[in-house]
């Protein structure tokens, strides 16, 4: 096993709000090796985007970040801003959720691609232009040369997300963070974009973090999945192991909330009842306990640690893990 490309160590993010400090990310540990894919799954407000912004060092100014983010041997949290700037866009790239707002409306697509290339690679304008055209072609944009002179509003949503991906790929990053890359897109486009990301990842041998609320998105695409709830990682396992047996009731509930083809029409979806806890008022016990149908009194008293049981790489934070495989009792 090689040394991980990215190690998130005990990262916590607190945001001051009028109602007190909001703990958006609550002491998360994660690691990712070069060329591998990590899926981070959780519902809105679980802290998955804040965690990705913590890695990118793009948190709101008032946010307080503790812990370490080791990337390629450097702690991004303590890196001077100029070194960080040289790293971003070159080794560390990101694709945001909404391609309608993530591209600058007043700059041409060519400008937005070429400025990244010219900032980090020593290429003159014609070479950067040539590379931009290649990149656009690689992400499946027809007539890439004409696109360079166009503005984002002249492209469809799917097209814009492809352009955003081309920008992210432009300097051959070691790590690509895709923050809900398909949430804002039509269903028909979603699979195309995810396949594009997977293909380019394999081709360029880069590591990737896919952040999503949809377990289905990571199912066939991530090597490892981390399920987040209320700022914490509550279950973490290799993708196959996770889908084979989920130990944390929240993961199970997330999976159950995905509509299935075989379900009869008009069957209500098993939605997760209740709402996530108020992040400004941390609970004493397990943060999922109030919504958990398996919760016992112990769950309200103490927080379960993230630990493994029978499989060393399958971690979960639950006192009463559910076991889907036969023969293992609770």
Partner 1 sequence: MLNFVVRRLLAILPVLLAVSLLTFLIASLLPGDLAYVILGDQATPENVAALRRDMGLDQPLWWRYLSWLGHVLQGDLGRSFRTGQTVLQAVAERIPVSLELMLMAEFIGLLIGVPVAIACAARAGGAFDRFMTGSAFAMLSMPSFLVAILLIYLFAVELHWLPATGYVPFTEAPLANLRFFVLPALTLALAEWPGIMRVLRSDMIATLQEDYIALAKAKGLKPARILFVHALKPSSLTLVTVTGINIGRLLGGTLIVESIFALPGIGRLLVGAIYTRDLVILQGVVLLVACGFVIVNFIVDMLYAVLDPRIRHGHA
Q: State yes or no: residue 146 binds partner 1 (CB under 8 A).
A: no
> Applying CB under 8 A, does 167 fall inside the site for partner 1?
yes
Q: How far is the CB of 31 from partner 1 (least distance, A)?
A: 21
Q: Which is nearer to partner 1, 17 or 263 (CB)?
A: 17
Chain centre distance of CA 38: 8
The end-to-end CA distance of the chain, in Å, is 32
Q: Is 71 in the site for partner 1 (CB under 8 A)?
A: no
Q: How far apart, in whole angstroms, are the C-alpha atoms of residue 16 and residue 163?
A: 35
Contact between 58 and partner 1 by CB under 8 A: the answer reads yes
From 22-30, 85-93, 187-195, 266-274, span contacting partner 1 (CB under 8 A): 85-93
Cβ distance to partner 1 smaller for residue 107 or 191: 107
Minimum distance from residue 170 beta carbon to partner 1 (Å): 9
Tokens coding 120: 């980090």
Determine which residue in the list 21, 154, 240, 308 makes contact with partner 1, applying CB under 8 A: 154
Closest separation in Å from C-beta 94 to partner 1 = 5
Query: Count residues contacting partner 1 (CB under 8 A)?
Result: 29
Tell me which stretch binds partner 1 (CB under 8 A): 71-79, 148-156, 189-197, 288-296.
Answer: 148-156
- By beta-carbon proximity to partner 1, the closer residue of 80 and 329 is 80
Radius of gyration of the chain (CA): 21
The number of CA neighbours under 13 Å toward the Cβ of 150 is: 16
The one among 68, 85, 213, 291 contacting partner 1 by CB under 8 A? 85
Does residue 64 interact with partner 1 by CB under 8 A? no
Q: Which is nearer to partner 1, 168 or 253 (CB)?
A: 168
Between 117 and 317, name the residue whose CB sits nearer to partner 1: 117
Question: Phi, psi at residue 307, to the nearest 5°?
Answer: -145, 170
Question: Does 243 engage in binding with partner 1 (CB under 8 A)?
Answer: no
Strand order in the sheet with 64-71: 20-32, 6-17, 64-71, 74-75
Determine if 164 is a binding residue for partner 1 (CB under 8 A). yes
CB of 77 closer than 8 Å to CB of 160: no
- Rama region for 89: left / alpha / beta (φ>0; ψ in -120 to 50; rest): left
The whole-angstrom separation of Cα 164 and Cα 148 is: 13
Site map 92..131 versus partner 1, x via CB under 8 A: xxx-x-x--xxxxxxx-------xx--xx-----------
151: contact with partner 1 by CB under 8 A: yes
Q: Which is nearer to partner 1, 18 or 329 (CB)?
A: 18
Binding site for partner 1 (CB under 8 A): 56, 58, 85-90, 92-94, 96, 98, 101-107, 115-116, 119-120, 151, 153-154, 164, 167
């Amino acid at each position: 096993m090689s040394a991980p490309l990215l190690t998130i160590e005990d990262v916590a993010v607190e945001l001051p709000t009028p109602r007190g400090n909001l703990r958006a990310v609550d002491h998360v540990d994660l690691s990712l090796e070069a060329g591998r894919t990590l899926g981070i799954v959780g519902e809105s407000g679980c802290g998955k985007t804040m965690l990705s912004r913590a890695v990118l060092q793009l948190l709101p100014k008032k946010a307080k970040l503790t812990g370490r983010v080791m990337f390629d041997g450097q702690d991004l949290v303590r890196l001077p801003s100029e070194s960080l700037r040289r790293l971003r866009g070159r080794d560390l790239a990101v694709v945001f959720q909404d391609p309608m707002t993530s591209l600058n409306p007043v700059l041409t697509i060519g400008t937005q691609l070429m400025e990244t290339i010219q900032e980090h690679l020593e290429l003159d304008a014609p070479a950067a232009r040539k590379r931009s055209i290649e990149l656009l072609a690689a992400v499946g944009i027809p007539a890439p040369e004409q696109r360079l002179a166009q503005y984002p509003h002249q492209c469809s949503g799917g097209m814009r997300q492809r352009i955003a991906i081309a920008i992210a790929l432009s300097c051959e990053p070691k790590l690509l963070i895709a923050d809900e890359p398909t949430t804002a897109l039509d269903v028909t486009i979603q699979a195309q974009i995810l396949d594009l990301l997977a293909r380019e990842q394999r081709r360029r041998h880069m590591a990737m973090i896919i952040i999503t609320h949809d377990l289905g998105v990571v199912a066939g695409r991530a090597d490892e999945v981390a399920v987040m709830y209320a700022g914490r990682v509550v279950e973490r396992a290799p993708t196959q192991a996770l889908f084979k047996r989920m130990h944390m009731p929240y993961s199970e509930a997330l999976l159950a909330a995905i509509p299935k083809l075989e379900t009869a029409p008009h069957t209500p979806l098993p939605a997760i009842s209740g709402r996530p806890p108020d992040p400004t008022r941390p609970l004493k016990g397990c943060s999922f306990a109030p919504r958990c149908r398996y919760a016992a009194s112990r769950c309200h008293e103490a927080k379960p640690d993230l630990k493994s049981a029978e499989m060393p790489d399958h971690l979960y934070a639950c006192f009463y893990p559910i076991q889907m495989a036969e023969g293992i009792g609770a």
